[in-house]
Structure 1
Amino acid sequence: MSLPRYPEYKDSGVPWLGDVPAHWKVQRFKWVIEQNDGGVWGEDPDGSDDTAVLRSTEQTVDGYWQIGEPAMRKLADRDRLSALLQEGDLLVTKSSGSALHIGKTTLVDESVAAMGACYSNFMQRLRLDGQLSPRLAWYLLNNGLARTQLDLLSNSTTGLANLNGSIIGEIRLATSLQDEQNAIVAFLDRETAKIDALIAEQEKLLSLLAEKREATISHAVTRGLNPNVPMKDSGILWLGHVPVHWEIAPFRYCVDFQEGPGILATDFHDEGVPLLRVSGVQGRWATLDGCNYLAPARVAEQWEHFRVAEGDLLISASASMGTVCEVGPDVAGCIPYTGIIRLRSVSGVMHKPYIRHLVVSSQFITQIDLLKAGTTIQHFGPTHLNQTVITRPPEAEQLEIGAYLDEQLSIMANLEKEAVCAIDLLRERRSALISAAVTGKIDVRGAS
């Protein structure tokens, strides 16, 4: 899309704004705000005349509402009236445990206003005075133009990544006449909707690829690759039918496994033998991310038999299941921390390529979940693996299945990478388009 520039520009006096259309006004945000108020929280509800209080957790990072069951609170009449939301109000998250969420802004539309809700004290309400379109302000506040300023102002003013009404009011912006603002909003509504639709298509593709990945793995490790092979009832409800020549065997007979030792923080040192953490077993290969170190003498005395070897597989017992990684030469010899389970194939029984896919299959994870539900131990660990049964094809077939899944998952991974790249580019395009429109770098008045 090629759009014209305005016929005449002037220096805004603000480096990040640059030149703006000659007839636009450069000012601080506070000069277009009528009310700039913190929120309320009140008391616990008693079921009588309680009020819905919206929270920052009901705002998405990109500035949309995601309201499920709003918190009901008992508010004094004065607080309820002062914090009652109206259509056109803007709500800014001013405090959060995540820097990603600070500054996210939602717009109160007709449906939200109809709720008769108030807002919590982790949010700041901005009610504009009519000089600036609330929807145009919503575009600006959720764009890097404002978020970067908020980040700089919050850190330079308070030393902490928290906002207040004064900081928000210091944002610098360029405003145009109301008719022109309406044209910019109409343009951005139309063009961002197109981009958002393309992003949604790519996100749907990612979801479909994830489903296909799961289905491909699960089918291969329970049905095999030959669609014409005779099947038999496994006798296990969650497993169903399997190839007639496959065995159903206890996991502990096919795979050698061991959880890392429980080690106290007092055993940590600045150097020595690396202690693998869960953060290092999230990808295809184990890494030393977040690792601590142990004294070599203490390892030799107490933990030597826990050392991992090149080619070992590692899964996390404390994080969500579905990820398995392999030990490379750079990690070999390290000690896995408790919560990390080391898997080794049993020679002549089970091969590593098959194990790698088996332990992330939906059937395997479902079995673990069923075992956890039946015990008082709700985290995943060796206790559950000792009770697990698995499919065991002949060795040659295990290798064939492993190679097939490696190939298919590689193809899917490339498609996922392309989709993620497309989403990133579309989001960059969306942000750049908004920035250009709200700063007057493009003239959208005649766009259709």
Structure 2
Amino acid sequence: MNFVKRAGTSLGARTSRTAALLAIFLVICALLLGGFLLQAAAARQEADAQRTIGVDVTVRKEGLTPALADRLGASGLVHRYNAEVRARAAAQGFTPLTSKVPEPGGGDAAQEKAKGELAVDGVRDSGMLLPFSYGSTKLTAGRGITPQDAGRDVAVIEQRLADKNRLKVGDALQARSADGKHATRVTVVGIYQDPAQEPTMWVAPNELPGNTLYVPVDTAQKLGSGTATVSEAVFKIGSPDRAKQLHAETEQLLGKGGFDFRVNDKAYRDQVVPIQRVGTFAGLLVWVIALAGALILGLVVMLQIRERRSELGVLLAMGEKKWKLIGQHAVEVAAVALPAVALAALAGSLAGQAAGDAFLGRQDDKPVSASREPDARIAPPAVRVEAADVGKVAGIALGISLVSTVVPGIGILRLHPRSILTDTE
């Protein structure tokens, strides 16, 4: 009889043992698939966390220009960056806010006023500014400044300034450089609300929170008479180990020394490192389950071989080759492994997401750390049963089947029909 056909007959005749073997294999395959799904979900969530949270590197240097900041921001290590240029400007055609406290006497106040009533903050990406990213300063209308605004004369103004001048998104206002030589017409694209209250003592108009305009870097340079430089540039990179590479690129661009290079990776450590640990745990889990599964099934097959010594002796006496006897056991175990893989894939598609949430957790339910951007939340882990994962589980399952039958089957190669049939054990 063909040993493959004989394996099918044997499985049908021993339904209880076949069911037990199927249950063992189902548990092994389900755990293996769970490990692969958890590993893949952790990798996807880690990649998402590196993009959204990442590590902030702040570079300061006297004389740092927007062009140099752009060159550093073009590095493949940088996901997102913001360069900040500060200037002062005078209002033209609209009325800036003034302090409600009487102005003290003397010439200093008049001189400060002459330098420009407006504080102009030129940015590349206003979403990376701490007040906006932390949520203390919120947009009430329109949008913020984005990299796509480069070369455009647009502005985001404070709610109090908008209310006083009845300005809304889409309106235009004109600002003049402090030296009076340049006038720039900007379009309001957003209105924000700064929670800071007005000082209780007199301050120059440009120091009032409502008189700050956020504009693109090019616009700030024009209002600053073209001489404004970058006060600081913040670069978001994927992980702390890339900070050294960025530092080397900064030295190559700006020269050794003479610049301040600060790395803030607390949010990364708080949020990404635990995800990496889950991924490592999942990889270790796969190896442990594979080894344990091979041992358990090896013991089960060994016990079955001992119980079926008489059957083996009869087959050997009939001239059956020993390798076919081992092949029969391998086919029996493999025939049970494949349905177990299919059932495990079904269970993974139904319960995988819940398991992923339990291990990786939903970030929306976690408190935001002091150094973490509230709007940079990690997306919930996406746990998907993919063909590649099922294929890996099937491959390991078949490997376990082969190991668990070949190793105990070595004993069959040393047996003789007479010794098996005359053995009373």
**TM-score of the superposed pair, with normalisation by structure 1:** 0.21
Q: Which has the higher contact order (CA 8 A, sep 6+)?
A: 2
Taking structure 2 as the reference length, the TM-score comes to: 0.22
More helix by share: 2
